[in-house]
Structure 1
Amino acid sequence: MRARTALPVALTVILLGLTGCGAGSGADDDAAGASRSSSASPAQPPASSDTSRNATPGPAVPEALRFTATTVDGKPFDGSTLAGKPTVLWFWAPWCPKCKAQAAETAKVAADRVGEVNVVGVAGLDKNAAMKDFVADTGTSSFPHLSDEKGDIWKRFEVTEQSRYVILDKDGKTVYEGVLPGGQGLAEKVAGLTG
């Protein structure tokens, strides 16, 4: 029987020792506890703290790149994703022989500069089905092509005819706008923006 009564007494003594009973008056202990918890609070982030502040912020999006569109494949496209890198916008029409002649060089520049430069085709002046056929026929599916049937992006960049390039620097400023027959000179213009 003694073992049964000794256990509760031993537990009571241990618990009283852990709670600090007899270490001081209750008022002093409460003040010390409050002081400890308030001094520890600033080290802890507030409950509504935004952990993204430690993340590297993305580049500022220039006005020229604040647009949305749909690709010829029907996927949504956000122009702000182009911010921070030089960008080649290639304005073409599916029935245009000059545009077909530019396709190979444009695709080569896109492949050679992956990760350094954005290359985006902006198709217009026809229906989306013809645009999809053009991309397949010219082998330019390695970079996005926007379906601009209504001409909204063409107007945004003041493009009035097909087979035009608009080249933007990393800050979204137009550094070139014009025709490059067969795409000749495109690689050199892009190299000047990345080197």
Structure 2
Amino acid sequence: MEKISDNNSNKKYSVLKNIFNKDFVVSAIIPIIIFSVFDKMEMTLSGIILSGVWSIGVVLINFMKDHKINALAAMGASFAGIGIIGTVISKNPTFYLVAPIIQDILLALVFFGSLFLERSLIQIIVEQSYLKNVSEEFKKQPKYKAVWRIVTIAWGVLNISQAVLRTILLYSVSMSSYYAMSTLYGNISSPLLLTFSMLFPKWYWKRIK
């Protein structure tokens, strides 16, 4: 019992360590600080632009350092860029804050739409980045394809829930609080579900024989 407990504790610690690390501070905490400082100085528009540019810069720096880019991070950076451009043109900070909601809705549609393809989007992402040693014979088995359908549905549901939560927050809390909660939620939920996407298939395949 003690060994099982220790293993579970180590797994939980490993997951938390992978989420709340230096990258989390750089990609989530610093943009929140930038926006909050400028918002309190009544320079909300400048805060939006600078925090958005920071977030995009983090993705570009990681790409130049690792010579590869995470598909989800790329999508997030793309929408951030669109949000910044729209905010500058309209001079309305709300434009940037609405962009993540639109992103969530579009991603949900993409994930659910990919269920009709031979390989779902999350299957492609995980196979290319984290699951490279699976034989072609195993990939042809029904249980292999079934697990990715389950994981893809989970990603679609996550994005719908994020869109609903962000919409509620947008109309119920201050702009600064919305930005902080939205950024934190996105930077925690996605890594958690990505971890689930890597661990759940292995558990499922062992259970379904």
The structure richer in helix per residue is: 2
State if a TM-score over 0.5 links the two structures: no
The structure richer in strand per residue is: 1
TM-score, structure 1 length as denominator?
0.22
Bigger radius of gyration among the two: 1
